[in-house]
Amino acid sequence: MGMVFLDVGQNFGLVAASVVIALVAGFTGLTLSTDLSQQSVARRKRSIAASAIALGGGIWSMHFVAMLGIQMPILFYYDAAMTLASALLAILIVGTALLLLHFRERTPTTVSAAGAMVGVGILAMHYVGMAGLQLCRPVYTPLGIGLSVISAIGLCIAAFWVAYGRRTNRSILLGTLCFGFAVCAVHFVATANTRFVAVPTLNEFGPVMSNETLALVVIISSFIIFGAFLWMGVTFLIPSPVLVSSPDLAPSVPTPLTQQLAVADPKPFYTPATPQAATRRLHIPCERNGVTHLIDPDHVVFVRAEGHYTNVYTNDAQHFCAWPITEAVKRLTAAGFIKTHSSYLVNPRQVKRFERFKDHGVCRFAAAHLPPVPVSRSNLKVVRGLLGL
């Protein structure tokens, strides 16, 4: 005897509510992750955690609000452990994708990988959540699974390309639409191609949860998401404050490397050519506890790449800088800094010793607590020349 599929209906009011929750969660999560390059590492981690909770929690809330809208001729329940696991899984995967975006160099490959990870998170949340159904069992079709995978991964990659291509309000709104469509597409495409059959006994992994209990949990999570949405919506409409620099804080125009190599004078490499250039003295913006400190390059010993950002070392402290190493090279070579390695820039005025080891070397400094900086083989000749060796 074949399986008898249950008749399934929908409460369209709850369907509409689930779509709104997906869009609200997408907007909140993408807005929480803006301007992170201007924050300290600790604040970035907190912002990413909040964004992951908003996006992952929104995926979960959308799914179960829509599930509350499903109407079947039998009474059915949810496994509480599986339901919780599906929420944690979504938050964890989304958080990993955001860490990849904000702590690694943001290349097309990185953005695509992060979008694909979020798509996988949506799929994992949906199918783990569906596995928690009690007294009925979902029966999937290959077509439904295939369309769900394509829509989730494709739309999430599109969402992250749009939202992270240019971090503008318009791109965030467009990214929100793509994210909301991705979350909704997985659920509704999958359930449209899913049939349900009655199961006579419970198959409990954890405590059983009724629709009423689930509704209460979903209401609380949705309340939190909407609260965050209102908070971020207010800040979204207020222009971000712009740090207006005085003329002596504006960056100087970088000097081509060929001109630097032609300088024979071993004195400081940064010499303003005109009084106007002197008023355009370069400073390095570094973040600490939410405050931007402008550091004079003369006080910097070396700069080291740290993922998509850099660490700036002075004789008495280590500072976080939002510049990637490519930006630091472009700006600081004009101030006489030397690129000794793909990840290092050195202030030659701070170098006290140079040691060569066959085809590479190291620069050492007066402060004993500062680590030596490596000099790669490809940069060895240039570094020795600029140090006057």
Host H or E run for residue 147: helix 142-165
Extract the runs of DSSP E, i.e. beta strands, from the chain: 9-10, 70-71, 77-79, 133-134, 136-140, 194-198, 208-209, 284-288, 291-295, 300-306, 309-314, 318-321, 338-341, 344-346, 351-357, 360-365, 373-375
Burial of 335 (0-12, 13-18, 19+ CB in 10 A): buried
For 73-88, what is the mean pLDDT? 87
Question: Which CATH code for domain 247-386?
Answer: 2.40.50.1020
pLDDT of residue 176: 85
pLDDT of 251 strictly over 70: no
- Find the range with the poorest average confidence among 130-144, 177-191, 197-211, 332-346: 197-211
For 78-97, what is the mean pLDDT? 90
pLDDT of 1 strictly over 70: no
Report the DSSP beta bridge partners of residue 138. Answer: 196
pLDDT of 11 strictly over 60: yes
The confidence band for 2, taking pLDDT boundaries of 50, 70 and 90, is low
Closest CA to 337 of 355, 320, 325, 321: 325
pLDDT of 267 strictly over 50: no
Instruction: Give me the chain's average pLDDT, please.
Output: 80
pLDDT of 79 strictly over 50: yes
pLDDT of residue 268: 42
Segments making up each domain of the chain, as ranges:
9-237, 247-386
Closest CA to 143 of 191, 81, 214: 191
Write out pLDDT tens, residues 192-248: 888 888 887 766 666 677 767 777 777 787 777 777 766 765 555 555 444 333 334
Closest CA to 329 of 315, 314, 318, 342: 342
pLDDT of residue 270: 39
Percent of the residues in the chain that have a pLDDT greater than 70, as a whole number:
82
pLDDT of residue 215: 76
pLDDT of residue 244: 39
pLDDT of residue 30: 83
pLDDT of 136 strictly over 50: yes
Task: Name the DSSP letter for residue 5.
Answer: B
